Structure 1
Amino acid sequence: MSYQRLSPDERRAQILDVARRMFTELPYAEVSTAAIARETGVQRGLIHYYFGTKRELFLKVVQGLTASAAMQAPPPDERLALPEAVELLVNLFLDTAERNATTWFAALDAEGFGQDPELLRIVNRFRDEAVEHMLAVLRVAEPTETLRAVLRAYSGLADAATRQWLQEKTLDRDQVRTLLTRSLLALVSDIGPALDKPRRDRPRAGAG
Structure 2
Amino acid sequence: MRPSSSAKPKKREVLSRDARIQSILEASQRVFARCPYDEISIDDIALEASMSKGLLYHYFVSKRDLYLETLRSVLTTMSQIPEDFPDLHACLNAFLARFEASPALTRMVFRGGIGSDAEAEALLTDYRQRQFTLFCQSLGSNEADPLVRLALQSWISFFQEVCLQWLEHRDIPREQILVLLEQSLQAILSSTKRRIPPTEETSG
Q: Scaled by the length of structure 2, what TM-score is found?
A: 0.71
Alpha-carbon contact 2:148-2:192 (below 8 Å) kept: yes
**Corresponding residue for 1:92?**
94
Ranges in structure 1 where 5+ consecutive residues have no aligned partner = 196-208
The answer to whether the 8 Å contact 2:109/2:124 transfers is yes
1:45 paired with 2:45, answer no
Paired residue type of 2:123? I
CA distance in 2, matches of 1:3, 1:147: 58
- For residues 142 and 120 of structure 1, what CA distance do their matches in structure 2 show? 21
Higher helix share: 1
Structure 2: 5+ residue stretches without partners: 1-10, 196-204
Q: Please list the CA deviations of residues 13-48 of structure 1 after superposition, one character each: whole Å capped at 9, or x if unmatched.
A: 121122112322x11345433232233232222222
Whole-angstrom distance in 2 between the partners of 1:50 and 1:88: 41
Which runs of structure 2 are paired with 1:64-75 in the superposition (5 Å)?
A: 64-72=73-81, 74-75=82-83
Q: In the alignment, which residue of structure 2 is the partner of 1:166?
A: 167
For the structure 1 residues 176 and 146, does the alpha-carbon distance in structure 2 shift closer, same or farther, using more than 3 Å as the test? same
Aligned residues: 183
CA distance in 2, matches of 1:141, 1:163: 28
Q: How does 1:49-198 map to 2 (within 5 A)?
A: 49-72=58-81, 74-77=82-85, 80=86, 85-111=87-113, 113-140=114-141, 144-167=145-168, 169=169, 172-174=172-174, 175-185=176-186, 190-194=190-194
- Root mean square deviation, CA, Å: 3.1
How far the C-alpha of 1:95 sits from its partner, in A, is 2.8
What percent of counterpart residues are identical?
23
Q: Determine if contact 2:32/2:40 at 8 Å carries over to the other structure.
A: yes
Decide whether the 8 Å contact of 1:107 with 1:119 is kept in 2: no
Aligned 8 A contact 1:3 1:42 in 2: no
Q: Deviations over 1:61-81 (max 9, x none)?
A: 222222222231x1325xx3x
Q: Report the equivalent of 2:45.
A: 36
2:143–2:149 Cα contact (<8 Å) kept: no
- Shift of residue 99, structure 1, vs aligned partner: 4.4
Distance 1:170 1:86, change over 3 A: same
Name the CA distance, whole Å, in 2 between partners of 1:124 and 1:104: 15
Residues 108-148 of structure 1, C-alpha deviations (whole Å, 9 max, x = no match)? 4443x433222222212211122112223444467523323
The question of whether the paired residues in 1 share the 8 Å contact of 2:91 and 2:134 is answered with no
C-alpha change, 1:33 and 1:147, in structure 2 (3 Å) is: same
Query: 1:172 is aligned with what amino acid?
Result: I
TM superposition shift of 1:149? 2.6
User: Does residue 17 in structure 1 map to residue 26 in structure 2?
Assistant: yes
Aligned mates of 1:19, 1:59 — CA distance in 2: 11
Inter-CA distance 17–76: structure 2 relative to 1 (3 Å threshold): same
Q: Does structure 1 residue 27 correspond to structure 2 residue 27?
A: no
Question: What secondary structure, in the 3-state scheme, does the structure 1 residue paired with 2:79 have?
Answer: helix
